[in-house]
Amino acid sequence: MFTLILGFFSYLDNYQIQNFIVNKAGPSKIGTLLTIAWAACYLSIVASYTLLFIVKSRLIRIIIYIFTFFSLLVCFSTKIAHAEYFGIGEANTILEEFQWATEAFRAYYVNYLYAGAGSIVFIAAIIKFIRVVNIPRVNSKVAMLFPFFCGIATIITFRTNAYVTPFSPLFDVPLLTAYASTTMPHFGKRNNVLFMAAEKPKAKHIVLIIDETVRGDLLQINNDTLTNTPFLSSIKETYLNFGIAASSSNTSRASNMIMISGLTPQQLPDVNHKYASNPNIFQYAQQAGYKTYYVDGQNKTDDPQNNMTKYDFMSIDHYKQIFKIFPDIETYESDYKITDQIENILKSDSNTFTYVIKYGCHFSYQNRYPISQEIYSPAYANNDVYADRETALNTYYNAISWSVDGFFKELLPKIEDNEVLIIYVSDHGESIMEQGDFCGHFQAIDPPNEQANIPFLIFEFGLDSTATVQNLRENQKLNINKLSQFQVFPTCLYLMGYEKSKVNLVYGPTIIDVPIYPRTFLSGVIYYPEYSYVNVYDNN
């Protein structure tokens, strides 16, 4: 029975164990003794866990059934949602983005039911095996071995800052969640801006729009074989399309943290938590004389997302939370309500800087548009399990058509009489069943480039004759398909009137400078060096 359970757990945790052995274990890294201790602890946890199924105490057996069910439920569920079993990244995601639990359940609940069923089948199979083989019951005192070895694993995990792990899929769920809860980054007041605006702002109104899960190469404007952005394609001469750019991360949280705090590729992983102490983009906007707006089309709770805190909101003059303003709308209506908010903001006599988080095209894609706007078919409906890539792509194209093309068709006529410059990017890209049946992003280890593939557009009104727009137009030809999301923060500062040479020195190139090459993007946890992975986007 021990062999069967060990084999099952090793299979579940195969990729994590391989990564640990290859990248962490051994004499040159954690040392031979610690490697042996890890292996012995792993085997001891599985062995002592096995004994719990055959103790005489019925209460202990019921407790271990419940413990097993919930641990395996989380393991299976993260595999379905993240294409990986439970690790430190998943533990942080649960703690930092718990407000999205309802949305996650809505998107994946059928798969979660499968995960629960799998957990029950595992428990039932063990019980059946014990009865068929007629394994005798053992003294209930042996139950103390399991918490003993789990205690050793806990000490190793905390003493090595979770560098030495995993200890089995079963115990990693409570262990890594406990560790992550004690190591949440410290937040305090942000530092002051590093320099003053020295020039006149390049635009009266600046709007930075961060879309959700929009992949650059799956837009018609970047792919002539598609037809999902007919409006944007029809007006392509009126805006600047920088083609396919690379996001800074393959997670929403990390990408927004980077764009808000101006982290550069050289500062990642962010071991010093600069993302929490750097002056943020709103501070620079205020210093340059802009009224600051934060328009959030995603969050339904009172807790800020993307690791934002009260210290960020100290430099935000107006917070517009769409689902608080319009509590009764359908979720897919959020982006269209954003267009009204932007229109009203641009009526201000003051200079304004607006940071927009769109609702976008996150999985499950069928929940991102009304059924009446199902242009591409066959497409998945609510509660369907994704099994066919063509159908998944059709569903995604419907979301793109509604949330990207329809959004701009609604927005642009409302603001064309203003002096405004809009930067449009997505937070990250998306895998859509290119490698198996996974739809999503945020894979920590070896994520495909599709998860960092984003669009990069510039819209401007009332600025045709300015030198700034001329520079943008000239560099669009040079930098097409070469930009990185890391250039968003310095570009915004340059547009606000900060001296470009100082901006370049501290925050790197703007979009009118020589681009970053090779482009990289982060996966994993932004502030855990042991679980941060820097991936090269320009593989060529």
Between CA 116 and CA 293 the distance in angstroms is: 43
Other CB atoms within 10 A of residue 404 CB: 27
Cis peptide before 518 (omega within 30 of 0): yes
Beta pairing partners, 322? none
In the chain, the largest separation of any two C-alpha atoms, in whole Å, equals 87
Q: Which CATH architecture has domain 205-536?
A: 3-Layer(aba) Sandwich (3.40)
Task: List, in sequence order, the alpha helices (H) in 262-384.
Answer: 274-277, 281-287, 310-313, 322-325, 334-345
Determine contact, residues 457/210, Cβ cutoff 8 Å: no
Domain locations along the chain: 2-182, 205-536
The dihedrals phi and psi of 421, each to the nearest 5 degrees, come to -125, 130
Task: State the distance between the two ends of the chain, measured CA to CA, in whole angstroms.
Answer: 49
* pLDDT in 10s for each residue of the chain, 540 residues: 888 888 888 777 776 777 677 666 665 567 778 888 888 998 999 999 999 999 999 999 999 999 989 888 888 777 766 556 777 777 776 776 665 666 667 667 777 788 888 889 989 999 999 889 888 899 999 999 999 999 998 988 888 777 777 788 778 888 888 888 776 666 788 999 999 998 899 999 999 999 999 999 999 999 999 999 999 999 999 999 999 999 999 999 899 999 999 999 999 988 888 888 999 999 999 999 999 999 999 988 888 888 888 899 999 999 999 999 999 999 999 999 999 999 999 999 999 999 999 999 988 899 899 999 999 999 998 877 788 999 999 999 999 999 999 999 999 999 999 999 999 999 999 999 887 777 778 787 789 999 999 999 999 999 877 788 888 888 888 899 999 999 999 999 999 999 999 999 999 999 999 887 899 999 988 887 777 889 999 854
Sheet with 318-321, strands from edge to edge, namely: 240-246, 453-461, 420-426, 205-211, 352-357, 291-296, 318-321
Distance (Å, rounded) from C-alpha 468 to C-alpha 241?
16
CB-based contacts of 92, cutoff 8 Å, min separation 6 = 180, 525, 528
